[in-house]
């Protein structure tokens, strides 16, 4: 009988210990927040996720209304009320005009980059007007009339370096 009592006491003590560990773990973890990583999750191009609001933001103070200037008063020396012209806003400055060139070959390939190793993305026919965006060696980055941008060989355009005329040999006197 004594052994049964010791066995029951040990079992009861073991159950109390396990229950205490479980409760301390449950209440200990409930009060802490999980660690937040500093790097944001990757965002796909087509799918934009809205962040979930966990806390409500602090109320913002209401802005004060702007102070209106007092209307101009008429001068005592003037018989007409003063008329101030409305303030004029400066006109936006026009974009600088780009240098242009024309295709002089029958047809020329338009490429993704400045070299023959870049992929052909189209072609342009003789007489096509091109706006020059960048000049890099023997290649021009251009904008076509439809707004597309590409690279074209400078040799195929009117910007090609002009070779000096071949010197004609003078006939030798006889």
Residue 4 lies in a domain: no
Q: Determine, yes or no, domain membership for 150.
A: yes
Closest among 29, 165, 25, 154 to 102, alpha carbons compared:
154
Give domain status of residue 104, yes or no.
Answer: yes
Q: Are 99 and 130 in contact (CB under 8 A)?
A: no
**Radius of gyration of the chain measured on its C-alpha atoms:** 41
Total structural domains in the chain? 1
Within-domain flag for 39 = no
Enumerate the H helices of the chain as residue ranges.
Answer: 2-30
CATH number at residue 108: 2.30.30.40
In a domain, 125, yes or no: yes
State which residues form the domain around 121: 100-156
CA distance 118 to 131: 20
- In tens, the pLDDT along 81-111 reads 555 555 555 555 455 678 899 999 999 999 9
| Polymer length in residues for the chain | 174
131-141 per-position pLDDT tens digit: 999 999 999 99
| Residue 13 falls inside a structural domain | no
51 neighbors 40 (Cβ within 8 angstroms)? no
Report the predicted TM-score, pTM, of the whole model to 2 decimal places.
0.41
């Amino acid at each position: 009988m004594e052994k049964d009592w010791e066995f029951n006491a040990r079992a009861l003590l073991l159950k109390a210990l396990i229950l205490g560990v479980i409760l301390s773990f449950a209440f200990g973890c409930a009060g802490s927040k999980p660690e937040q990583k500093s790097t944001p999750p990757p965002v796909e191009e087509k799918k934009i996720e809205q962040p979930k609001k966990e806390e409500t933001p602090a109320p913002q103070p209401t802005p004060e209304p702007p102070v209106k200037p007092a209307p101009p008063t008429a001068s005592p020396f003037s018989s007409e009320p003063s008329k101030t012209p409305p303030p004029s806003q400066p006109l936006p400055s026009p974009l600088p005009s780009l240098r242009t060139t024309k295709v002089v070959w029958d047809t020329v390939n338009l490429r993704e980059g400045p070299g023959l190793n870049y992929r052909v993305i189209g072609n342009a026919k003789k007489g096509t007007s091109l706006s020059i965006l960048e000049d890099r060696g023997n290649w021009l980055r251009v904008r076509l009339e439809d707004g597309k941008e590409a690279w074209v060989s400078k040799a195929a355009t009117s910007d090609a370096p002009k070779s000096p005329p071949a010197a004609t040999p003078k006939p030798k006197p006889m």
